[in-house]
Amino acid sequence: VAIVRFSRVADLRARLDRVRGSGAGVGLVPTMGALHDGHGSLIEAASARNQEVVTTVFVNPLQFGPNEDFTAYPRGLDADLALAEAAGATVLFAPGLDEMYPGGPAAVRTTVHVAGVTAPLEGAHRPGHFDGVATVVAKLFAIAGPCTAYFGEKDFQQLAVVRRMAADLSLPVQVVGCPTVREANGLAMSSRNRYLTDDERNRAAVIFRALVTGRDLVEGGESSPDAVSSAMRSVLASEAVVSSIDYVAVVDPATFDAPVSIAGEVRLLIAARVGRARLIDNVGARSPSP
């Protein structure tokens, strides 16, 4: 069955009400397009468990800061449609700006703010970003209705924000996190990797090497967050292609609080610039049981 494409909220709602009425489960994969195999794996996970799989493509202006790459963000709906269909999506929802924000983004009067987990790291470096994400995801959840939604762990803090929002607002959506898909050299797949030259793409794998170094230390029993962060920073410093580092962090995976000492499960996260791209990545690590 060929994938169906909608751009109107009312048309998508009518279709999803109908398929739910006939007993089908709905999987939702929200994206900003420029789909790659990481998105493909989310769509595959959704299609393994739901008869109806909706991939949404919307570059959401609310989550970009004034000096960020909203205009430059890669767009290509034909390629997105082909990848989504090959991965098992049954519907592609690609609304225009006016459909999502009648009157434009500046006319929006209601936004969603998730406190706490949005404060550090991405929240500190990209003011307003998570309000934009939470607002558009709340809208997509309201449009889709009861469903299971799939998000990548690559944006680990975003996943925590979306989980918290869905729980706090009693939205009828189950949020599922899926593992990061990596290039052969370890670089996490991202639409923003398109900004990199081949050489930068090879060298950017240093970010994953730094995370693995941190994970090895934690799993070897290192309990000092500072020691783990410094070791990760040293690995990043060994590669000149990393022009600046926004953060190197060790946090509690649920609250994003910084632990005084590492015991149990933590998340290691990095945000750094390589060439024209700002890249983020993370891994989980567990300290050995005492």
Q: Residue from 94, 136, 218, 236 that binds ligand PAF (CB under 6 A)?
A: 136
For 211, the token pair is 């995370």
Neighbour count for residue 10 (Cβ, 10 Å) = 10
Interacting residues with ligand PAF between 60 and 119 (CB under 6 A): 60, 63
Q: Does 161 bind ligand PAF (CB under 6 A)?
A: no
Q: Which is nearer to ligand PAF, 63 or 282 (CB)?
A: 63
**Is residue 83 within a helix (H) or strand (E), and if so which, with residue range?**
helix 77-87
Q: Which is nearer to ligand PAF, 155 or 200 (CB)?
A: 155
Q: Residue from 6, 27, 31, 270 that binds ligand PAF (CB under 6 A)?
A: 31
Q: Residue from 32, 100, 268, 285 that binds ligand PAF (CB under 6 A)?
A: 32
Sheet containing strand 173-178, strands side by side: 4-6, 91-93, 52-57, 26-31, 147-152, 173-178
Handedness of CA 225, 255, 116, 182 (dihedral sign): positive
Q: Which is nearer to ligand PAF, 37 or 222 (CB)?
A: 37
Q: Does 251 bind ligand PAF (CB under 6 A)?
A: no
Matching residue, tokens 């989550």: 63
Please say whether the beta carbons of 213 and 232 come within 8 A: yes
In angstroms, give the least distance from the CB of 110 to ligand PAF: 17
Q: Does 133 bind ligand PAF (CB under 6 A)?
A: yes
Which one of 27-35, 94-102, 104-112, 174-182 is the stretch in contact with ligand PAF (CB under 6 A)?
27-35
Specify the pairing of strand 277-286 against strand 265-274: antiparallel
C-alpha dihedral, 218 to 259 to 128 to 140, nearest 10°: 70
Contacts (Cβ under 8 Å, ≥6 apart) of 133: 60, 63, 158, 161, 162
Residue 36 annotated in active site: no
Interacting residues with ligand PAF between 139 and 158 (CB under 6 A): 155, 158
Interacting residues with ligand PAF between 216 and 235 (CB under 6 A): none
Total residues at the site for ligand PAF (CB under 6 A)? 10
Q: Which is nearer to ligand PAF, 44 or 155 (CB)?
A: 155
Which residues of the chain form contacts with ligand PAF (CB under 6 A)? 30-32, 60, 63, 133, 136-137, 155, 158
